[in-house]
Amino acid sequence: MAVESNFLNLGSPLIDFSLKGTDGEMHSTSDYSGKDVLIVAFICNHCPYVKAITGRLVAIQEKFKDRGVQILAVNSNDPDDYPEDSFENMQKFAAERGFNFPYLVDETQEVARQYDAQCTPDIYVYDKDRVLKYRGRIDDNWKEEDKVTSHDLENAISLLLEGKEIDFKQIPSIGCSIKWK
């Protein structure tokens, strides 16, 4: 069943966290304090919506890596009920898909709850002051990348890098629900 993200927390400050990455290292939001834009993306391994867009996230990180943009991907799903989302499978998933950003495990699901994450993918974009400015879809066609006509996430990033406000309607991300324990 598809679930949409919500916008209740637009304008709120970044919620700090420190989580273990698929690289075995701990990653904290504060590690990226020098970045102009920080993106927290709740994803997982098994969701067809996520599988369809991971290449786009990799391309976005590559496109903006030298412009002060950092993606942090977080998997908060329950691996007991969804073994495909286990840490070991996260490592395989990240390697197979060429992740160029940290992929972090939220074992307690505390981070997802603090963020009020709803679905995978659920995208949070923070400006240089770490205020939530964008919470919406990556683009207008999750299923067929070659039919995308509106690159919402890229547009939001570009506006923030220019010091501007998001000036277009934010449309919720859609995906599988977070799999709670």
- pLDDT tens, residue by residue, 86-100: 999 999 999 999 999
pLDDT digits (tens, 9 = 90+) for 59-111: 999 999 999 999 999 999 999 999 999 999 999 999 999 999 999 999 999 99
* Alpha helix stretches (DSSP H) within the chain: 48-64, 87-96, 110-115, 152-161
Average pLDDT over residues 15-25: 98
Distance CA 123, CA 118 (A): 10
Flag whether pLDDT at 1 surpasses 90.
no
Q: Tokens 């940290």 map to which residue? A: 102
Q: Which of the four pLDDT bands, split at 50, 70 and 90, describes residue 4? A: low
Q: What percent of the chain has pLDDT over 90?
A: 94
User: Model-level pTM?
Assistant: 0.96
Between 2 and 126, whose confidence is greater?
126
Q: What are the structural domains of the chain?
A: 2-177 (3.40.30.10)
What is residue 60's predicted lDDT score, i.e. its pLDDT?
98
